Structure 1
């Protein structure tokens, strides 16, 4: 348990986060504690991106969208691999960690610029980085399912039910986090500036040969021309069962699976 709490503190929690004993009750499901990723000093060092199942859509569309965004963050922007979690309700989350805290307003702007460039269809609250969240692992109060960090290769198996029936092992949760890296200060600033919206030029009189009602096209934010030397991480992809077991064994995790393949029936 101490290892898991230490990893949560290393990656996501502010200095004035709830003490270890309160966090322990939270991750054991004995007390649900909404936690803000922004400290009392107005600084934050983590952001969460939600991918919820859209009304009227079935299947794993929200999972596939998360995969596209996670890969774009790494391959296009050169950011470290994010953590992936299931909510215990109806959503997946990506978790971004900052090596050094930044003002919450700046983190909110960074998140909104990422949204505009990579996932414009997803709505973000105007105080997304300040609002208390259910930090995994924890028990979802409505569904009774567990929110947890997961191996990305297993994400599709949770598309219909993004939650666990049983509490995830703390050491296994810590193992999913211990190899993750935070976004460095220079890297944050470089991406922040690269995603800054281009200034809109002042309207100019239309040339005589161009109709005055011709449409104007706004310039999109400029992305880096090449990846910013991404840190090797686990890009999200379809993984075979052997891939998943090998990866978990490398992290000293003995895998368990919720779904059993039924034996073929005999005539």
Structure 2
């Protein structure tokens, strides 16, 4: 569990923040944030919510050359994409970035709730945590998302080792990557953007599934990926 906490701190907590039972405050007192959370859900078609998440997650990687985001189920009725920023950005800039993502890649969707704020996402429980519904939030392997379209939550707390395995290869978006992605989005919609600064981005060593997009993973891929980390897959639901 200590190692999982370290990973959560590495990716999503600002300097000095500590994970705990209270919800994670995404925005600092001086209006900065380093974690962008995109929510897909609410009442309606869970399969459509998931499809839109896949569309945006793949666009982040294919079109904007950003690292793959982490994916979670809320325990309630939403899926979340978690974007980690290596350097905090002003809230207004984060809001503009999310608005452009919606405009460019999901122009007909009203299901992306946006990053914090609105107020319901200023404070967000950090997975894994127990939702008011009685279900658990958890980070999930993207290839398993379709299994949660009717109920985005787990019946029991996810194993810490499994959560750690899902996060240890997640990379934060560097300041240069974020600036270049924002410039690309602005160019898509015809806004004036500053010229992008050429940058060579170091890539992580190739790992199982590192080249797979969200829709490409099979159950066999996921089981093989877990076994490579000495993690035994567990059932999502309790057996009767």
What is the TM-score when the length of structure 1 is the normalising length?
0.75
Offset of 1:103 from its aligned partner?
Answer: 1.6
Q: Distance in 2 between matches of 1:65 and 1:230?
A: 29
Contact 2:137 2:153 in 1 (8 A): yes
Residue 154 in 1 paired to residue 154 in 2? no
* Larger Rg, first or second structure (1 or 2): 1
What's the RMSD between the two structures over aligned residues? 2.7
* Selected match of 1:249 from 224, 227, 238: 227
Contact 1:51 1:92 in 2 (8 A): yes
Q: 1:230 to 1:73 in 2, by over 3 A?
A: farther
What is the TM-score when the length of structure 2 is the normalising length?
0.82
Offset of 1:72 from its aligned partner?
Answer: 1.0
Listed as ranges, the gaps of 5+ residues in structure 2 are 204-209
Q: Deviations over 1:84-126 (max 9, x none)?
A: 0001011111110111111222122212221211223234377
Q: Which position in structure 2 is the counterpart of 1:134?
A: 125
Q: 1:34 to 1:61 in 2, by over 3 A?
A: same
Listed as ranges, the gaps of 5+ residues in structure 1 are 27-32, 201-220, 262-267
Contact 2:23 2:124 in 1 (8 A): yes
- SS of the equivalent of 1:102 reads strand
Mean CA deviation greater in 33-42 or 169-178: 33-42
Q: Which position in structure 2 is the counterpart of 1:64?
A: 51
Offset of 1:138 from its aligned partner?
Answer: 0.5
Q: Which position in structure 2 is the counterpart of 1:9?
A: 9
Q: 1:194 to 1:140 in 2, by over 3 A?
A: same
Q: 1:186 to 1:46 in 2, by over 3 A?
A: same
- SS of the equivalent of 2:138 reads strand
- SS of the equivalent of 1:113 reads helix
Q: Distance in 1 between matches of 2:27 and 2:47?
A: 31
Residue 170 in 1 paired to residue 163 in 2? no
Contact 2:27 2:91 in 1 (8 A): yes
* Selected match of 1:118 from 102, 105, 126: 105
Q: Which position in structure 2 is the counterpart of 1:49?
A: 38
Q: Which position in structure 2 is the counterpart of 1:198?
A: 190
- SS of the equivalent of 2:214 reads coil
Contact 1:138 1:148 in 2 (8 A): yes
